[in-house]
Amino acid sequence: METYNYTDLSEQRIEELCTRQLSDDDTIADRVKDIINTVKAKGDAALFDYAAAFDNVALSQLFIEKSEIAAIAATIPAEAKQAIDTAYANIRTFHAAQLVKEQKIETMPGVSCWREARAIEKVGLYIPGGSAVLPSTFLMLGIPAVLAGCKEIVVCSPPQKDGKTNCYLAYCAVLLGIEKIYMTGGAQAIAAMAFGTATVPKVYKIFGPGNRYVTQAKQLVLASGMTAIDMPAGPSEVLVIADETANPAFVAADLLAQAEHGADSQAILVSATQEMIDQTLLQIGIQLKDLPRKDVAEKAIANSYAVLTENLEQAMDFSNIYAPEHLILATASFEELIPLIINAGSVFLGNLTPESAGDYASGTNHTLPTSGFAKAYSGVSIDSFIKKITFQHISPAGLTAIGPTVEILAAAEGLQAHKNAITIRLNSTDGY
């Protein structure tokens, strides 16, 4: 992990450091285009073929239903069941508080305006899975979808070697009331939900993290105009701002927690003290030796770096340019830094708040913008699964009050029919 001195960096160099562009992005885009076009043309047949090619599974059908999901869920270990129950409760509590009914506003006497929420009817949830165990993502997407009231929730997840799902995802499905899981993953799952197949329903919006193929597929189906997506996303990332009050072992653990996601993940350390950087790098070397995913984490750490700043304010300046998915303020003075945060997906305050708590069970959502998109996007929430529709009602007194304003503005823009829509009502003798 290389160390840079912030004061020595030009604006251009800082922008380069904050760019998450990988050399083979164009190659991946071409591969994903082929997958999407194949699924669009061949439907279910393509999904069976890709399951065999990518997952090494010969599927007999593309989904498992409620009874089989329940049977798989029943095999979950007791301690895992309890952990999922706790995470479910915390995530649901946090997201349920976001269901706020807005008030009607009288903008002038007799003119009332308001907004009402309506759930997106058909949503698709992509849950990375297969041989991995990723119940947290299912909870993070499924809970707000259910709370929002989405009528059709389509769940896609890569099959295990037996063509089924694991007990952890099955148990989440039971908690969420999901009656069917489609056994397809990768870019082909995104294409199936975007275009629909004989088996997989077409949805209006697709949610969920994934590898670079999944991310590219989401962006391509969005560009095609076929379906919306939750946000652009890429490899996972964390930026830790640490001062002299931080524990280097804690900081190293947080950086490695992100690094073990994948070789293309980034773990950035920013500090105003060289000693903190040196001690953290030492701890990374110590802790790395014992990680089961050591090879993956090592590659990610090699793809990462540290930045030495003059003070915490300068550290925040760099963080806002980088716009991290996860921002950890490993400092006792985090309260003073909160107002300085402009761009971040989710923030973890103090020395006892690891990013992994938010990944699993604190309650906030872990589906977050990456690759600098935190400058313009928020993480998944209840709002992600709803639309806000505006309403207005005008009374007779309101029409008299607002009418002349609309007539003048419509005339100024040369839109006579707009003006007439007001005038004909004002001049009506029928009453209103």
Whether residue 218 is found in the same domain as residue 239 = no
What torsion, rounded to 10 degrees, do the Cα atoms 96, 102, 103, 104 define?
-150
Tokens of 403: 């009418």
Identify whether the C-beta of residue 184 lies closer than 8 Å to the C-beta of residue 200.
Answer: yes
Catalytic residue among 95, 237, 260, 326: 326
CATH number at residue 419: 1.20.5.1300
Whether residue 367 is found in the same domain as residue 417 = no
Q: What span, in angstroms and rounded, lies between the C-alpha atoms of 181 and 238?
A: 31
- pLDDT attached to residue 131: 55
Catalytic residue among 261, 325, 355, 366: 325
Residue among 388, 389, 385 nearest 123 (CA): 385
- pLDDT attached to residue 286: 97
Residue that is last in its domain, among 177, 211, 230: 230
Whether residue 163 is found in the same domain as residue 275 = no
What torsion, rounded to 10 degrees, do the Cα atoms 148, 204, 383, 189 define?
90
CATH number at residue 152: 3.40.50.1980
Is 20 inside any structural domain? no
- pLDDT attached to residue 134: 83
Whether residue 180 is found in the same domain as residue 54 = yes
Whether residue 410 is found in the same domain as residue 315 = no
User: Annotated catalytic, 326?
Assistant: yes
Tokens of 360: 């699993």
Say which DSSP state 8 is in.
G
Is 19 inside any structural domain? no
Residue that is last in its domain, among 230, 245, 260: 230
Q: How many domains does the chain have?
A: 3
- pLDDT attached to residue 133: 64
Whether residue 321 is found in the same domain as residue 406 = no
Tokens of 64: 């498992």
- pLDDT attached to residue 405: 98
Provide the 10 A C-beta neighbour count for residue 139.
Answer: 25
Is 74 inside any structural domain? yes
Residue that is last in its domain, among 179, 200, 230: 230
Query: What is the block-wise mean pLDDT of the chain (432 residues), using blocks of 10 residues?
Result: 95 92 74 96 98 95 97 97 98 97 96 98 90 84 98 96 94 97 97 98 95 91 91 90 98 97 94 97 96 95 96 97 98 97 98 96 96 95 97 96 97 98 90 58
Whether residue 290 is found in the same domain as residue 205 = no
Is 389 inside any structural domain? no
Is 11 inside any structural domain? no
Domain span holding position 279: 234-378
Whether residue 272 is found in the same domain as residue 170 = no
Burial class (CB in 10 A: 0-12, 13-18, 19+), 199: middle
- pLDDT attached to residue 432: 56
- pLDDT attached to residue 384: 98
The pair phi, psi for residue 114, each rounded to 5°, is -160, 170
User: Annotated catalytic, 325?
Assistant: yes
Whether residue 206 is found in the same domain as residue 160 = yes
Whether residue 401 is found in the same domain as residue 323 = no
The pair phi, psi for residue 52, each rounded to 5°, is -70, -40
Identify whether the C-beta of residue 307 lies closer than 8 Å to the C-beta of residue 297.
Answer: no
Provide the 10 A C-beta neighbour count for residue 124.
Answer: 29
Whether residue 418 is found in the same domain as residue 327 = no
Residue among 169, 187, 186 nearest 178 (CA): 169
Whether residue 418 is found in the same domain as residue 324 = no
